[in-house]
Amino acid sequence: MESEYLKVEHNGLTFDVHRGGPARGPWVVLLHGFPVNSSCYDKVLPRVHDAGLRTVTIDQRGYSPGARPEAVGDYRLDMLTDDVLGVLGHLNIAYSMLVGHDWGGIVAWHLAAKHPDRFTGLVAASTGHPSAMAAALAAGGDQRTRSSYIKDFIADSAEETLTARDGVLLRRAGVTAEELAPLLEPGAITGPLNWYRANFTGDIAETLACPPVEVPTTMLWSDGDTALGREQAELSGRYVRSDFRFSELAGVDHWIPQHAPEALASEIALRSAMF
């Protein structure tokens, strides 16, 4: 088993990257969401490696200390996807499977949809296809209420609100003090919040618009998720032009990588085997 931490430069930014797993085997790229960096996959990676898969995790833009541009516009979705392609290019990884949770899921859906020649499959945890999310928001169900927290994340006062009392609001939402520690460093939370500001203001529909996905896809959703509802997860199948599997986890909250690592690793291994 190899395990290596790297500093990868792309477009003037330096990303913290971990590469691990058996010396040979298919590659899997795992993309984290908000507010936890790639350490959210710490319990998933050994299980994926045991399945014979090699992995790459990236502390994405705003999370790697060397990749924190100041402008909100530097966190647009097209830049986030380009970062992943740039890191994979540096590592000479031509083909891989994608795994994404939360915001990492949005990035993964776009990568899979727009670069089907680069990715062999997708496992999306919690976050459905962007078009399915748009449909759920328009349907008049509960997704609009579930998503109401976003207005607080794009507010000018978001940094102060979310770091107050050692991040008590995020800890109440299920993030541990250890996971939050990197974001409580001076200025560290602004980049992650800029993902919301850059992509959930203005013409949101145009910004998040995503073509259908043509690679085999698994949608893993947990029934204890308070932010992302079942409708947006199930509707994702309408936007996959290949094999689609919907898998529901009972009694699990939003934090699937941390709280259901066995289930996520199993779905990754299954999707890889099916390919």
Q: Annotated catalytic residue: which of 101, 110, 129, 254? A: 254
DSSP summary character for residue 227: S
What DSSP element (H or E) covers 123?
A: strand 119-125
Q: In the annotation, is 102 catalytic?
A: yes
CA distances in angstroms from 140 to 58, 143, 147, 186, 209, listed in the order given: 36, 8, 13, 40, 20
Sequence-separated (6 or more) residues with CB below 8 Å from residue 42:
none
254 catalytic residue (yes or no): yes
Q: 196, 225, 239, 253: which one is catalytic?
A: 196
Active site residue 225: no
Closest by CA position to 91, among listed 31, 18, 33: 18
Q: Is 96 helix (H, G, I), strand (E, B) or coil?
A: strand
Sheet holding 96-101, edge to edge: 2-10, 13-21, 54-59, 27-31, 96-101, 119-125, 217-224, 244-253
Residue in 102, 110, 129, 253 annotated catalytic = 102
Residues 205-233 as b/e (b if ≥16 CB within 10 A, e otherwise) read: eeebebbebebbbbbbbbeebebbbbbbb
Query: Which sign, positive or negative, has the C-alpha torsion 113, 119, 123, 124?
Result: negative
Report whether 40 contacts 258 (CB < 8 A).
yes
Q: Which residues are catalytic?
A: 102, 196, 254
